[in-house]
Amino acid sequence: MARKQSDQAVRGPQFARNLDWNLLKFFHEIASARSVTRAAQELNRKQPALSLALRRLEERLGVTLCHRGPTGFELTEEGRILAERCQEFAGAIREIPARLSDVKAEIRGHLRVMLVSNLVAPALDEALAAFHARYPAVELIVEVAAWTEVVNSLIQHRIDVGISPSRVKRAELAYLHLFTEIHRPYCGRPHPLFGKSVADPAALAGEAFVLTGADEGDELTQFRLEHGLGRNIAGMSDHLEEARRLAALGVGLCFLPEGYAQAEVDAGRLWPLLAGANVPRNDIFIVTDPQSPAHTARDLFIAEVVGLTKPGEGMH
């Protein structure tokens, strides 16, 4: 009866959880040294302690693992099988430091990112650079599309990460605030207002504007309508770079993201007409679909973004 209970303990689901794994380590040393005495010397332990560990392991397994006597040390068949297993365990354990150091190279695959056009976002650049440095084997695939296409691509699982403003947050998606994009009206050097500053947005109501069409955010549209801007249309382009080109040529005023326009301002080709804080702002989000299949590269990229997110910002 006692042997039957021991067999049940060996084969039961709690065996690995209840086993003292040090016993396997000690047995591995004993089997490798083919002597309890030499194993004790290698481990800098007392021989009785190792003998007791061997006896405990044999009792736990319900088998005899070795014979010791005048003829010397000899493993039983059960002892030989266990010694081979312990050798495999020891090899796997020795590989752990190398495996951990190579973890960057082991993260492979693709990370598909879709973002709205002409996004100037230092935080995004920093996250992408840090992600690539950590996981250089992951191929980054970046596409540009309107915000509606970004959302649709996420829902259809055609991309892993979307980066865009959000007019309406969908309950099934997760939104991580990346940064707030500031928009100002700019004019080109040929325009009569170049070099001048306006305090009241309504003072620009009579001016001709270049509009950015479907890519214009709700906050900007609301701001324009509130102050009567854009009723006189001089040009229009859904492509921000072409709208900027028209503004630089003096065709009309154009609302542009501050970061995107800065290089042209520094070069003297564009001029910001509205100073101060009374300008439209557009929140840009990292958008993901929590219901999409598990994706290690995506989760690691989000971790990079979270690490750069300021206190108070986060998922919505």
Q: Is the pTM of this model over 0.75?
A: no
Q: Choose one of 74, 101, 128: the last residue of a domain.
A: 101
The number of folded domains in the chain is 2
- Of the spans 39-43, 74-78, 95-99, which averages the highest pLDDT? 74-78
What integer is the mean pLDDT of 27-37?
91
DSSP letters, 170-184, are -TTSEEEEEEEEEEE
What distance in Å separates the CA atoms of residue 181 and residue 216, rounded to the nearest whole number? 12
Side chain identity, residue 102? D
Same domain, 46 and 138: no
Domain boundary (36, 67, 101) is at 101
Residues 145 and 293 occupy one common structural domain:
yes
Q: Which domain holds residue 20?
A: 2-101
In tens, the pLDDT along 50-71 reads: 999 999 999 989 999 998 877 7
User: Which residue pairs from 261-269 have beta carbons closer than 8 angstroms and sit at least 24 positions apart in sequence?
Assistant: 261/184, 261/186, 262/120, 264/186, 265/186, 268/189, 269/188, 269/189
Is the domain of 282 the same as that of 220?
yes
In this prediction, residue 313 carries a pLDDT of 41
* pLDDT bracket for residue 100 (50, 70, 90): low
CATH number at residue 239: 3.40.190.290
27 falls in which pLDDT band (50, 70, 90)? very high
Last-in-domain residue among 101, 125, 160? 101
Res. 89 pLDDT band, cuts 50 70 90: confident
pLDDT in tens, 211-222: 988 778 788 899
Distance of alpha carbon 99 from alpha carbon 104, whole angstroms: 10
Residues 64 and 199 both lie in one domain? no
- If asked whether residues 79 and 193 sit together in one domain, one would say no
Number of Cβ within a 10 Å radius of residue 214: 9
**95 and 226: one domain?**
no
Which CATH number fits the domain that encloses residue 61?
Answer: 1.10.10.10
